[in-house]
Amino acid sequence: MTTIKKTTQPEKNAAIAILAFDVASLDTSFLDAGERNYIITQNNTHQLTSFSFNKISHWVFVKIMPAGKEDHLLLEACRKAGDELQSEANKLQLPELTLVGAGASPAQVLACAEGVALGNYHFYKYFKKETDKKHTLTTLHLADEQVDDEQILTLQQVTEAVSKARDLVNEPVNHLNATQLAQHFKAMADDAGIDAEVLTRKKIEALKMGGLLAVNAGSVDEPTFTILEYKPKNPRNEHPIVLVGKGVTYDTGGLNIKTGSYMNDMKSDMSGAATMAAVVYLAAKARLPLHLVALLPATDNRLNANAVVPGDIINMADGTTVEITNTDAEGRLLLADALSYAGRYNPLLVIDAATLTGSAVRALGRYAIAAMQTKADGAMQQLTASGNQVYERVVTFPFWDEYGELMKSDIADLKNSGPAEAGMITAGKFLEKFTSYSYIHLDIAGVAFAEKRDSYRGLGGTGTGIRLLFHFLQHFDDEREEVRR
């Protein structure tokens, strides 16, 4: 992980990265007059925006940022510039880099630093010679007087939380079954000083969590249900915000088995649980004045003689009966039990995150999170605003009653799978049946895992959703009238 530090003056012969919004603001502190004129000429004539100079004793990198874009688009450009900088530094085997702003605001410098740190993430744990693969860049210095120590600490905490979630998502299931995942969540809780309880099969059976048990029926490994609770002194919210995450450590599809290459990234089907655990961990580290609870049901979805089959009818924790029409629509079953459990807290708001449907991927690709809400108009507005700010964008889909009608069964209260059309919405409507409170559903199937490297989001687990929810919680205002609607 990249260590981020503040510095008042770059050390002599330090590698320098200049984030420039105004070419004219480039001075000769780090560049000589010829280099400065070259940048100006090339930028004006050929619109070149990236430059590097070998000063023999050190390197100087210059990134010219675009002008005229909206603020949140400029911040995203800064993050991407940061990712480019870490890539150049690692290619040159540089251990440290000092970031300097030239006409850049503190927020833009921090965004660039975020891009450096997140882009510098790597998962090389299972290479025979891991040291040969590791990035050389370990430290980023920020030479900007306007950026304070608290902002740097928060940024460090954010990148640490995202890295922890990415590590979990990138772990293969033979090293991370439900029990091992719960152990990781417990270790994160211990590190952050928050309460953690791991429910095992006996307690899950006592709670009659038929959805979680049905998905687990084909597995040789035990299911778990982890509860994380962060409650600071004098929290601003009288009733907790509850975060629910899908923790399917591997999804074969069950008897409706996935075909071809559709199983290749199914170790990432626990991304929702990793996301929500990381959010609570981060909130505790940053000492947000909010009472938060995370509910994290976990199992793998495999096949053996006891696996649930299409046509089975199961009983959920709240007594609802569900006809199984597709064993590959398993995530909603364990989420439904968790959403029922969330009602025990009389929550102010419940948000779930899950790699739930291929429909969300087909609708939005890797560019946005599919979202739905009930009784949470104002909170959704805040979440959408946060999504734009951190560039983990949210698209709200309709939650009309007609979609819920598609989930009715002829022989049970509900069926677990609807028609192919609008699958992300019908999945959300299934989950809504188990709620009685303000509720937001986030389908992160398209954004949780990158099969090809995606700038600072990296390759493999992206941790998308953590920065979104943390920004939302940082700015959450439950006193606003529209949030309470």
From the list 258, 366, 375, 484, the catalytic residue is 258
From the list 166, 246, 267, 332, the catalytic residue is 332
The label of the residue with tokens 């100006």 reads 40
Residue 19 host element (H or E):
strand 16-20
> How far is C-alpha 34 from the chain's CA centre?
44
Q: 155 with 466: CB under 8 angstroms?
A: no
Active site residue 258: yes
Per 3-state DSSP, the chain is made up of helix, strand and coil in percentages (nearest 5) of: 40, 20, 40
CA 484, CA 482: separation in Å to the nearest integer? 5
CA 425, CA 466: separation in Å to the nearest integer? 22
Active site residue 246: no
Burial class (CB in 10 A: 0-12, 13-18, 19+), 149: exposed
Question: Which structure tokens are listed for 462?
Answer: 């992206």
**Of 333, 322, 306, residue with least CA distance to 204:** 333
Strands 460-461 and 449-450, by their bridges, are: antiparallel
The label of the residue with tokens 């029990």 reads 179
Beta bridge partners of 373: 440
Question: Which structure tokens are listed for 368?
Answer: 């946005």
Amino acid at 200: T
Strands 139-142 and 3-6, by their bridges, are: parallel
Q: 78 with 104: CB under 8 angstroms?
A: yes
CA 382, CA 158: separation in Å to the nearest integer? 20
Burial class (CB in 10 A: 0-12, 13-18, 19+), 163: buried
Amino acid at 44: N
Amino acid at 274: A
CA 383, CA 393: separation in Å to the nearest integer? 9
**Of 357, 184, 201, residue with least CA distance to 269:** 357
- State the chain's maximal CA–CA distance in angstroms: 80
Q: 268 with 165: CB under 8 angstroms?
A: no
Output the 3-class SS for 354-396: ECCCHHHHHHHCCCCEEEEEECCHHHHHHHHHHHHHHCCCEEE
**Of 256, 263, 358, 262, residue with least CA distance to 310:** 256
Enumerate the active-site residues.
Answer: 258, 332
